[in-house]
Chains A and B, each alone.
Chain A
Amino acid sequence: MMPRDIQTNLLAPPSGATAPRWGLSMPLSRRQGFRAAAGLAASAAALTAMPAQAVIRVDITRGNVDPVPIAVTDLFADTPQGRSIGADIARVVAGDLDRSGLFRPIAKTAFLQRPEDMQMLPRFVDWRTINAQALVTGKTTLEADGRLRVEFRLWDVFAEQQMAGISYTSAPDTWRRVAHLIADAIYERLTGEKGYFDTRVVYVAESGPASKRVKRLAIMDQDGANHRFLTDGSYLVLTPRFSPTAQEITYLAYVNDRPRVYIYNIDTGQQEILGDFPGMTFAPRFSPDGRKVIMTLADAGNSDIYTMDLHTREVRRLTNSPAIDTSPSFSPDGNRITFNSDRGGSQQIYTMDANGNNVQRISFGQGRYATPVWSPRGDLIAFTKFDASTFYIGVMRPDGGGERLLAQSFLVEGPSWAPNGRVIMYYRQDQTNRDGTGGDAHLWSVDLTGYNERLMVTPLLGSDPAWSPLLTP
């Protein structure tokens, strides 16, 4: 069997082309002038209209007000099979960039230059004519050993410079992952932020009427491809979450009508109950180092927060109040925990140290606050809020300031962060009708800016999404 790994190499600009004076290996955010330029809130269009040394930059903080027009050409190949893969890759790359809301892929029918004519240098004037600011070219090769080699180059059309060039060598059936890696490389090069396309989503697939919903764990790529079910619906499953390596999922399952936290290994398909607790365990999440699961245990009707070390099986109790304490989530450095409690009389968001000390209430707005989830960047906490018959998805700083609401509906719930901390996925459920119809749940995503709210297409209804880390960190 062919190894699953994907080998990556940087590509120098072809002869006759120029590259920016900085190398690709240096993070964009540290490059001279980037922060100043990004902070100007000048549009990418304005930046690229500047003289030739300028390089396209996408200001990620502004949402999709002005998405950058980008031409993603079919990757060229000498063989029909290679050209077919090249076209598939281009389609997946363009789809990723389009859904981000930061880019506007140009329809291929507008292209003036054909892929086979760009193997040395693009004719930049042809791409300026159709208002492309960025251009993606490349080629695929099926090597003698059966492996697929994929090259891509990202061009600044106005500066006539190569901005990125990378080759990937891997088994041919990994072409989708290669496409997502290319999209991530383009996103990172143009925004200065890590991408989130080489990721997966685990969620709860729902079918049947609202009163008799069948719920199954399901997993898919972040673009909906490679969908498969992990459980068969014979028992209720809820709230799956990824481990930091994306190899395991922790979730709540009602096996034999005993609601307990389980761990599912994606590679082996094995499921394991976590610990031996006297009451219901629920609301699980992995610690950032993957060594512990933090969860809620309901003992004699009272819910408190515990951690379990996955190696030593040591259990630690972190809260001890007669109130409901649930929905815990670690900060990315593992030092703090945010959680939901009604200890003050109504549901609010709190933070505490990893050992349970130093508890602080951070939500003080109107309504009930729930499901706090710490951003992978550490800078924000996403939450669900319920006020005056409306649910909201929002974010606030870990000190409780800067609250912003990003989505609202009759019922929206359960935010999950993309690994770059720029996009949030959640689910939205419709009202249920008296005859039992309705109550449909769907997965949605929204940018941190509140723009670019998008439906995730799933084969069945869907709820409780959880976004994986980058599969290739």
Chain B
Amino acid sequence: MRRELIGPIVALFFVAACQSTPNDTGNAVTQGAAAGGGGAGVAQNAAPAAAPAAAPAARPAGPTAGTRAEFEQVVGDRVFFDFDKFDLQPVARGTLERQAAWLKRYPAARVVVEGHCDERGTREYNLALGERRATASKNYLVALGVEASRITTISYGKEKPAVPGSNEAAWSQNRRAVTVVSGVATN
């Protein structure tokens, strides 16, 4: 079967950031890749940030550390796949490595990994393919040291596209595994 070994992790972060913006001319894709690029650095520096709760008016840019918003906007909550594939590309592994580091920093957080497909497949096959994608993400997070008991998976097949449209730009955004965090503040 197609299965990629978990390679050495090293400094894929910036490569990931540069490559991971799909060639979408359209709407939507604000978080994930683009924001995740800057996020690699932020995530590493943000750990000790003592939230300045006393100064609500002077709120710093970006979401609060340890929140779901930070996970989605800074860490990057999703990885993308090639058509009819479920192997993790280097960009995806970079995102999951940031996710694993974040999850280890916030042990109260639990995640559901949602597997999704684009519309170009039959419903039942895509349910199975979405399950493979969610499991590929989960397995990589576990390999990186996140407890398996904190991670569940669910496949939605082609039922919940992230980006509307019947074109490659939309499809490339819909072939994804999304890590949804719970157990932490929303923002």
- Select which of A210, A296, A431 is within 8 A of B128 by beta carbon: A296
CB pair B128–A238 under 8 Å, yes or no, is no
Is B122 at the interface (CB under 8 A from chain A)?
yes
Is A347 at the interface (CB under 8 A from chain B)?
yes
Q: A259-B154, A324-B129 are in contact. Are A414 and B26 (CB under 8 A)?
A: no
Q: A210-B164, A211-B161 are in contact. Are A370 and B124 (CB under 8 A)?
A: yes
Q: Which residues on the B side are within 8 Å of A431 (C-beta)?
A: 166
- Select which of B121, B123, B131, B159 is within 8 A of A301 by beta carbon: B131
Contact digits for A315-348, partner B, Cβ 8 Å, 1 yes 0 no: 0000000111011000000000000101000010
Is B99 at the interface (CB under 8 A from chain A)?
no
- Select which of B84, B122, B164 is within 8 A of A436 by beta carbon: B164
- Select which of B123, B155, B156, B170 is within 8 A of A413 by beta carbon: B123
Q: A323-B1, A324-B132 are in contact. Are A236 and B155 (CB under 8 A)?
A: no
Q: Which residues on the A side are within 8 Å of B97 (C-beta)?
A: none
Contact digits for B115-135, partner A, Cβ 8 Å, 1 yes 0 no: 000011111110111011011
Is A282 at the interface (CB under 8 A from chain B)?
yes
Is B165 at the interface (CB under 8 A from chain A)?
yes
CA distance A283 to B129 in the complex (A): 13
Is A464 at the interface (CB under 8 A from chain B)?
yes
Q: Which residues on the B side are within 8 Å of A342 (C-beta)?
A: 125
- Interface magnitude class on chain B: 35 or more
Is A145 at the interface (CB under 8 A from chain B)?
no
Is B162 at the interface (CB under 8 A from chain A)?
yes
Is B75 at the interface (CB under 8 A from chain A)?
no
Q: Which residues on the A side are within 8 Å of B26 (C-beta)?
A: 434
Is A144 at the interface (CB under 8 A from chain B)?
no
CB pair B135–A301 under 8 Å, yes or no, is yes
Contact digits for B153-186, partner A, Cβ 8 Å, 1 yes 0 no: 1111001111111110010000000000000000
CB pair A434–B165 under 8 Å, yes or no, is yes
CB pair B119–A238 under 8 Å, yes or no, is no
CA distance A432 to B93 in the complex (A): 30
Contact digits for A417-447, partner B, Cβ 8 Å, 1 yes 0 no: 0000000000001011111111100000000
CB pair B124–A326 under 8 Å, yes or no, is yes
Q: Shortest CB–CB separation between residue A386 and chain B, in angstroms?
A: 7
Q: A211-B162, A434-B27 are in contact. Are A464 and B125 (CB under 8 A)?
A: no
Q: A259-B155, A280-B154, A413-B122 are in contact. Are A300 and B164 (CB under 8 A)?
A: no
Q: Which residues on the A side are within 8 Å of B161 (C-beta)?
A: 210-211, 432
Q: A211-B161, A433-B165, A434-B165 are in contact. Are A301 and B124 (CB under 8 A)?
A: no
Among B84, B127, B167, the most chain A Cβ lie within 10 Å of the Cβ of: B127
Is A239 at the interface (CB under 8 A from chain B)?
yes
Q: A211-B161, A303-B128, A324-B128 are in contact. List 19 more A-B contacts (CB 8 A).
A: A209-B164, A210-B161, A236-B159, A257-B112, A296-B124, A298-B128, A301-B131, A301-B136, A303-B132, A368-B84, A389-B120, A411-B120, A414-B123, A432-B164, A432-B165, A433-B165, A434-B26, A434-B170, A435-B164
10 residue pairs of the A-B complex, CB under 8 angstroms, read: A209-B164, A239-B124, A280-B127, A280-B154, A296-B124, A296-B128, A300-B135, A368-B84, A370-B124, A434-B170
